[in-house]
Amino acid sequence: MRITSPVMARNDDIAAENRRAFRLNGLLAFNIISSPGAGKTTLLEALAGELGPEMAVIEGDVKTRRDADRIVRAGCRAVQIETGGSCHLDAAAVKEAFSALDKRKPFKYLAIENVGNLICPSAYDLGEHIKVGMLSLPEGDDKVLKYPSLFSRIDVLLLTKTDLLPHMEFDMDRVERECRSLNPGVKTFRISARTGQGMADLCSFMRSRWESL
Ligand SMILES: Nc1nc2c(ncn2[C@@H]2O[C@H](COP(=O)(O)OP(=O)(O)OP(=O)(O)O)[C@@H](O)[C@H]2O)c(=O)[nH]1
Ligand SMILES: [Mg+2]
């Protein structure tokens, strides 16, 4: 029997409320999880270039408004959550941030950038439709089986910083194979926010997911 703690049960209840609110607002919500520095904000800046004000962003960091400021400079609405120490976002923090987002002009996509961490964020449902796990090439190609709590739960795997492939040994096939061994339905993309590789495919995937909401 799986025992759910009261904290997780409460989180799941609020996540279900968030999911309803996102649906009522016609939003596709995605929760991006990676280690610090993998490139989450850079990806969102690149997506802002493609989607513009159709996307709004909730940023999660332990401290500072730096990532939200970057997103606003890139042309999207953003609200920053500063967790003050916690290594992950929870559904209550996202609910509060969502209520603070300016909704006077409609948008279609709600990106949630989680706190950089490969472990704790994976356990918390935020109400997203798509859980995205991101792994950048400099982190190494052995990470999937070392961090199974994340890679077994994600809907989408983003292998990023592919522009650095000539400078390192990294087996992208191995990462995708190991991820599928934990998670047969996972959808994978190979991208570089620097060169734009894979960004068009990622955007068309998001557009088709929004259309099938
Ligand atoms: N070469 C290359 N560098 C990248 C790419 N994406 C991001 N970077 C660099 O990686 C560094 C970290 O990028 P961020 O986007 O700030 O990473 P993050 O995951 O948001 O970091 P935290 O919010 O601190 O967890 C920056 O120096 C980026 O310029 C990429 O596709 N290729
Ligand atoms: Mg960031």
Compute φ and ψ for 124, nearest 5 degrees: -105, 115
Quick: pLDDT tens for 179-188. 999 999 999 9
Ligand nearest to the CA of 116: 1
- Strands (E) in the chain, as ranges, are 28-33, 55-61, 77-82, 109-113, 130-136, 156-160, 187-190
60 lines ligand 1 (CB under 6 A): no
Nearest CA to ligand 1 atom 13: 39
Query: With 70 as the cut, is the pLDDT of residue 2 above it?
Result: no
**Which of 31, 42, 168 is the pocket-test mutation for ligand 1 (most atoms within 8 Å of CB)?**
42
Total domains in the chain come to: 1
pLDDT category of residue 4 using cuts at 50, 70 and 90: confident
CATH number at residue 202: 3.40.50.300
Domain for residue 50, yes or no? Answer: yes
Question: Which DSSP category does 80 fall into?
Answer: E
Domain for residue 41, yes or no? Answer: yes
d(CA 22, CA 129): 9
Quick: pLDDT tens for 17-38. 999 999 999 999 999 999 999 9
Q: Model pTM?
A: 0.97
Strand order, beta sheet including 187-190:
77-82, 55-61, 109-113, 28-33, 130-136, 156-160, 187-190
d(CA 139, CA 95): 32
163 lines ligand 1 (CB under 6 A): yes
Q: Span 103-127, mean pLDDT?
A: 97
Q: Looking at ligand 1, which atom is closest to the CA of residue 192? A: 31
Residue 178: what residue type? Answer: E
How far is the centre of ligand 2, averaged over its atoms, from the C-alpha of 43 (Å)? 9
Domain for residue 103, yes or no? Answer: yes
23 lines ligand 1 (CB under 6 A): no
d(CA 56, CA 26): 13
Domain for residue 153, yes or no? Answer: yes
Quick: pLDDT tens for 143-200. 999 999 999 999 999 999 999 999 999 999 999 999 999 999 999 999 999 999 999 9
d(CA 38, CA 134): 7
Domain for residue 33, yes or no? Answer: yes
How far is the centre of ligand 1, averaged over its atoms, from the C-alpha of 29 (Å)? 21
Q: What angle do CA 187, 117, 195 make, to 5 degrees?
A: 55
- Widest Cα–Cα separation across the chain: 49
Domain for residue 108, yes or no? Answer: yes
Domain hosting residue 12, numbered range: 6-207
Domain for residue 212, yes or no? Answer: no
53 lines ligand 1 (CB under 6 A): no
